[in-house]
Homo-oligomer: A and B are copies of this chain.
Amino acid sequence: MIIKQSDVREAIARIPDGATVCVGGFGVPGTPFYLLQELVRHGAKDLTIVKNDANERGMGVDHLLKNGQVKKLIVTHIGLNANAIRMMNEAEIEVEFNPQGILAEKLRAAGAGLQGILTDVGIDTTLAEGKTIITYDGRQCIVEPPIKADFALIHAAIADQTGNVRYSATAQNFNPLMAMAADCVICEAEQVVEAGRLDADLIHTPSPFVDHVVEIAELSEEYNVIRR
């Protein structure tokens, strides 16, 4: 089998200015804080970030925003990050909103090598404005394009050295879809084990969709339960 374990600096150093980078996570669960921290250190600029949300102030993606590394956010909701809302309102960043399940399907469509999907979600709303609409099988449908990314940063509970990945509870969310959508997938894992230690029946994202596996040195504060 092919061994994909990698150093976090080497893995993240591949990301150039202007890259489109998918970032897993829905709130805290599944957000690759360790990889994001290294991406801030690395400093790549003009990034297009694809993520469900923009985390909260002072966490995860917000570090990239504050560091001026983000040109555009492709998201479903940024309500928990006042800094992201401010930057959007002051036109410091561009923000594209997608219905949550449609963001998932657009990522998956790229990952499945499709040229697009047809959906009636949002057909009667302002979200349909500017989109290609066709009539198919007697119904109006929006043609939604795939979202293909250069990189995906994903968070696993456990991975093997060949890149087979398992998530925990609701930390799964967008991670498997982003692994499909990106040309180069960098996976941080709380634990990395030898090939053969994970039951082949019980893999969430199989190794062919993962390029680099990075073991998290230590879980930072950001991974913890948030007390409000």
Contact = CB atoms under 8 A, between A and B. Distances in A.
Interface of A: 105, 109, 112-120, 132, 134, 136-137, 139, 141, 143, 145, 166-169, 200-202
Contacts of A117: 109, 114, 116-118
A116 B118 contact: yes
A113 B120 CA distance: 9
A167 B120 CA distance: 33
Given A201-B166, A202-B202, A115 B120 contact: yes
22 contacts: A105-B112, A114-B117, A114-B118, A114-B119, A115-B118, A115-B120, A115-B136, A115-B137, A115-B139, A116-B117, A116-B118, A116-B136, A116-B137, A117-B118, A118-B118, A118-B143, A134-B134, A136-B145, A168-B201, A169-B200, A169-B201, A202-B202
B114 A105 contact: yes
Given A109-B117, A115-B137, 8 more contacts: A105-B112, A105-B114, A115-B118, A115-B139, A118-B143, A132-B136, A136-B143, A169-B200
Nearest to A157: B201
Contacts of A105: 112, 114
A221 B109 CA distance: 40
A109 B167 CA distance: 25
